[in-house]
Amino acid sequence: DQQVKQNSPSLSVQEGRISILNCDYTNSMFDYFLWYKKYPAEGPTFLISISSIKDKNEDGRFTVFLNKSAKHLSLHIVPSQPGDSAVYFCAASQETSGSRLTFGEGTQLTVNP
């Protein structure tokens, strides 16, 4: 079963606008969530994380929002830049699982100049 889902395989936005990437999860035991970005031929690079005790975490142009009741999180990138074009993965973990990460399928973001 897919416990973390990213329903949009791709997203295209104009440079300078906001990018919103979405992620849904089914396992209510997840208590820590992360976003990774991946360029071709490279491993995933950590972007930002959020604990389940928070509903928002911000780091520069990146903000992650968590809605526990809806089991939904989103990543906002403002303003979007062409260098942000990559595959974005949502991941989740639970304290009792030894910190293994469960990933979504990824969303390909393309930022057009």
Residue found under tokens 């973990």: 93
Nearer to other proteins, 45 or 112 (CB): 45
Q: How far is the CB of 96 from other proteins (least distance, A)?
A: 10
Q: How far is the CB of 36 from other proteins (least distance, A)?
A: 8
Nearer to other proteins, 52 or 85 (CB): 52
Instruction: Tell me how far CA of residue 94 lies from CA of 6, 7, 22, 25, in angstroms.
Output: 19, 22, 20, 12
Dist. CA 68–CA 24, nearest whole Å: 10
Q: How far is the CB of 14 from other proteins (least distance, A)?
A: 26
What residues line the site for other proteins (CB under 8 A)? 4, 6, 32, 34, 36, 41-46, 49, 89, 91, 95, 97-106
SS3 content of the chain, % helix, strand, coil (to 5): 5, 55, 40
Nearer to other proteins, 41 or 70 (CB): 41
For residue 30, what are its two tokens? 């997840």
